[in-house]
Structure 1
């Protein structure tokens, strides 16, 4: 099913438990992100979980958007200019996708307000030192990775592993040299296949998605509480 303006306008929109306006576009077999300009940037959160999306890109400018739930898709790559279109994004849930290379995460560096990120159950997180790489390479605002708080000890360990006196270490150069030839560009229509597979989402999968959303909401609430206390 294509992501049309009609689908957007007829999908549920509500105030979620953390008082954000959320648009629910989950479980629609959507193969490609498109036409989100029809939202008129009225949402703090958009749920695109359990679709067939392969590329995280093709967003219009959505300066209000703070949370993007896009778990249980088929994402393999991320548009290089993502941060330009989602400048205030704080939480990005990419659990259960197909990102396989560390270099494919480079566009996330442009999300300057990113505080919570989930890459759990992506092949990339099985790579050696993947968590430390994310902590070192992604914005310093990142506080929660895969639903675990980023510790200062991890930040220091990551710096020692990948950076020495302001220069890349051999480990960092090896990752960038080996994977740096992979393109991070987005072509219109990419990810839209001729034969779209129908994905049946069972009740257990739906519950997993809701659990993931509850976790990130809890983490964000804790961060906000700490900031108010300080």
Structure 2
């Protein structure tokens, strides 16, 4: 559990550091600008870390499921080599997603003096300032959202369904509280992360939805 928590802590630290400093400069300074290179780097890192967190939260849910449902087999199933492989898989999946989505986004034509109507450089905001037909990139973004948001969320809910059944079979009240205690913090992170990110990337395309998405992006970063 602590191995994956250390990965999540490092991930969230990098996630915040990749966007918040530039965001604070734009909030406090007279000019609300970011260079093209800076926007490019920010998008690559933002997508990489965001996709990695989606997968890592699934891995942590499965880890909790094994710990609660099969406690005697936990050290045999979740051995250090497997934990390392799962962590590499999470970080690697996020990197692949970024290397696929980011170049496709920056291949869109942009006018020279466009305003990115968002607090960070992310795909929905950059699509809006493109002067070309963006239906293809929007379809790709929707498919990626289904794979990295909806499918992982279903797996997480299924794993916690198994956890709930296992906990209810425990006759001791103290044992039930201990089992639920190991899962509560992870469930809170899942609710906050998936709730905000799903609303940003899967909500209908409208002005109100975009304004709401900016607030939710800020909430996710902070």
Bin the TM-score by the shorter chain: under 0.3
**Comparing both structures, which one devotes a greater share of its residues to strand?**
1
**Comparing both structures, which one devotes a greater share of its residues to helix?**
2
- TM-score, length basis structure 1: 0.22
Give the number of the structure with larger relative contact order, counting CA–CA contacts within 8 Å between residues 6 or more apart: 2
Higher-Rg structure is 2
